[in-house]
Structure 1
Amino acid sequence: MINHNKKIKSILTDVFNHQIENIERNKSILNEQLCDIVTKIYECKGKLVITGVGKNAIISKKIVSTLISTKQNAYYLHGNDAVHGDLGVINEDDIVMLISKSGNTYEIKKIINFLKKKNIPIIALTSNNRSFLALESNFKCIYNIKKESSAGNIAPTTSLITCQLIGDAIAVALMKLRNFSAKDFSEVHPSGALGLKLNKAVSEIFLKKTQVCTNDSVFDVILEITKSRLGATVVTEQERAVGIITDGDLRRTFQSNKKFEEMSAKDIMTRNPITIAESLNVKESLEIMNEKKIMHLVVIRDSNYLGLLHMHDLIDLGKND
């Protein structure tokens, strides 16, 4: 059997390099016009409708899917369906983005004629700045494609990657303008990995049970905090949490010039620590931490101390497995 790996690797490398060069070249579209497009979508009272034909229809659908998953009001409309009755989904408060490399297809022209009659704003995403689409649109993003990375410059490849990149950039910009958070993401992805993690009960997280008694010395407290590596420990009486001591509490005690060697845990603890039930989920726990500006929560079961939850435990859940 002939080994073609060397030839295959060379082809793959050429494709990657071509795509990288294309992205670098198209940084020029990061201009005021693209900013205006993002602003127009952000301020839109209706929905953003994105349409295309052929492979551009697939890209349109992907961009819309990203936008919808981030709570942006968006709708995917296939170009062929649009000219066969589905233009009725477009309302006067909407904006329409048309994706077409040539900008001169039959469907594009028909859709634009309809939109112009209805006075609906048009966003063009095309590589042809002299096309019907570019000339008739209100907002335009003209990308620069010298050639596709496919053999013979036939199959759309580089142009699709470019459109996808622009769509993703717009989606991320809108997310940040709206302060879209992991909590928002979990709400629309209840069965997704992040959604499942954020909706998980804290009892399902490995909790460290670090504790000292009220009469334990400050030195005992230091040893326990050092051992647990949580930056805090819980003070208990008969298995109930009566206080919490953080490494910050220890520093303040040392700086107070008091005879800390004569002090016990009850003398330096913060009484009545904020507690949560083990059934509370990760998302709710994070909200409490953010609201109270604290790093730790004491987890209880039927009033008894169960374990200490650190914010880093929750943040780690958001990382990829």
Structure 2
Amino acid sequence: MKLSDQIISSAKETISNEAEAIANLENFIDEDFINAVEIIYRSKGRVVVTGIGKSAIIANKIVATFNSTGTPSIFMHAADAIHGDLGIVQQDDVVICISKSGNSPEIKVLVPLIKNFNNTLIGLTANKESFLGKEADYVLNCYVEKEACPNNLAPTTSTTAQMVIGDAVAVSLLNLKGFSSKDFAKYHPGGSLGKKLYLRVGDIVAQNQVPQVAPDTNVANAIIEISEKMLGVTAVVENGKIIGIITDGDIRRMLKDHEEIKGLTARDIMSKAPKTIEKNTLAVEALEVLEKNNISQLLAVDKGKYIGVVHLHNLIREGIL
């Protein structure tokens, strides 16, 4: 078999094996899962997620997902917990302990200590008959028949299953809380994701100059306005209201259609009824309007009053596109 064929075969087999294992997890959404989610939902404390080895890495990811979807959570490494970090756990906290086997030495030491604190313990394990499975108040079953690793040793399918169960818990809590896109934006203010959820047209317009001319402005001055404001466009404004727009495209069409431009005004070459958008509209919605109409600029308004321009380049620079 060629090397390339071997790579493709291995990759496809891995994906197939993991997909089958993940689909099977639906069969493990039982009363324990329901009770675990309800306990977390009603808890006045945080969710402390712990594990060791690869499970600790998955625990960190689950913590991040919980926090970003409105469920306060913190990671505690199982090995560090028995050497002082157990102080992380507070009275009202719920603890999720992750272990594929449920029988690792650190877990056997940690579980009784958590039980002594009278905190609710949720076990996330592939072995319900393990030490963790029997000692936990509730068990989230993430059983997988085999790892994707051909030797059935390297945590692959099992860690994927742990992460999926964690996501299932997080999304269940999200839905119970009625967690909205506005809530999501509060926890994701940075990066393109956050900007899509909170950045508005008015925020972008404030960064730009405001090109505008009167309808009787001669063409030469209209071109100067477009050039100086560097947005490839100017609004044509009369009595405070937009009556048209002149773009670079309008200028090119004018030069094509008129040998003599000296007597022309903005009114003569403008496009009427231009697309406008309110300043409180989300920037991502402005992008949708631009794409739908195959244009590069939108005139922004505040209750009908012209306030500036949103350019496609603004949205690209902000990471919206």
TM-score normalised to the size of structure 2?
0.67
Asked if the contact 1:199–1:281 (Cα under 8 Å) also holds between the matched residues in 2, the reply is no
Moved more, 79-88 or 28-37: 28-37
Question: What is the aligned partner in structure 2 of residue 13 from structure 1?
Answer: 12
- Provide the residue aligned with 1:183 in structure 2: 182
Q: Matched residue pairs, number?
A: 244
Cα distance in 2 for residues equivalent to 1:61 and 1:101: 16
1:222 corresponds to: none
- 1:134 is aligned with what amino acid? G
- The runs of 5 or more residues in structure 2 that have no matched partner are 209-236, 243-276, 287-299, 311-318
- 2:23 corresponds in structure 1 to 24
Aligned partner of 1:40 in structure 2 is 39
Q: Aligned equivalents of 2:129 and 2:159: distance in 1?
A: 20
Is residue 111–residue 132 contact of structure 2 (8 Å, CA) maintained in 1?
yes
Task: Give the superposition deviation at 1:191.
Answer: 1.2
Q: For residues 118 and 171 of structure 1, what CA distance do their matches in structure 2 show?
A: 25
The yes-or-no answer on 1:83 pairing with 2:85 is no
Aligned to 1:164: 163
Do 2:142 and 2:165's aligned partners in 1 also have CA atoms closer than 8 Å? Answer: no
Structure 1 partner of 2:305: 304
Counterpart of 1:147?
Answer: 146
Distance 2:63 2:159 in 1: 15
Distance in 2, Cα, partners of 1:41 & 1:127: 21
> Alpha-carbon deviation of 1:88?
0.7
Q: Which residue is equivalent to 2:240?
A: 239
Q: Are 1:118 and 2:117 counterparts?
A: yes
Residues 100, 125 of structure 1: 8 Å contact kept: yes
- Please name the residue that 2:290 is paired with: none
Alpha-carbon contact 1:19-1:158 (below 8 Å) kept: yes
Identity across matched positions, percent = 37
The AA in structure 2 aligned to 1:304 is K
Letter in 1 for 2:125: T
User: What is the CA–CA distance in structure 2 between the aligned matches of 1:141 and 1:100, rounded to whole Å?
Assistant: 11
Q: Which runs of 5+ in 1 are unaligned?
A: 207-235, 242-274, 287-297, 310-318
**Aligned equivalents of 2:115, 2:70: Cα separation in 1:** 28
Partner of 1:56: 55
Report the aligned-residue RMSD: 3.7
In structure 2, how many angstroms separate the alpha carbons of the residues matched to 1:198 and 1:138? Answer: 38
Secondary structure of the corresponding residue to residue 97 of structure 2:
strand
Partners of 2:308 and 2:172 in 1: CA distance? 40
Q: Which whole-Å CA distance do the structure 2 matches of 1:199 and 1:121 have between them?
A: 37
CA distance, structure 1, for counterparts of residue 320 and residue 156 of structure 2: 29
Aligned to 2:282: 282
- Shift, 1:307, TM fit: 8.0
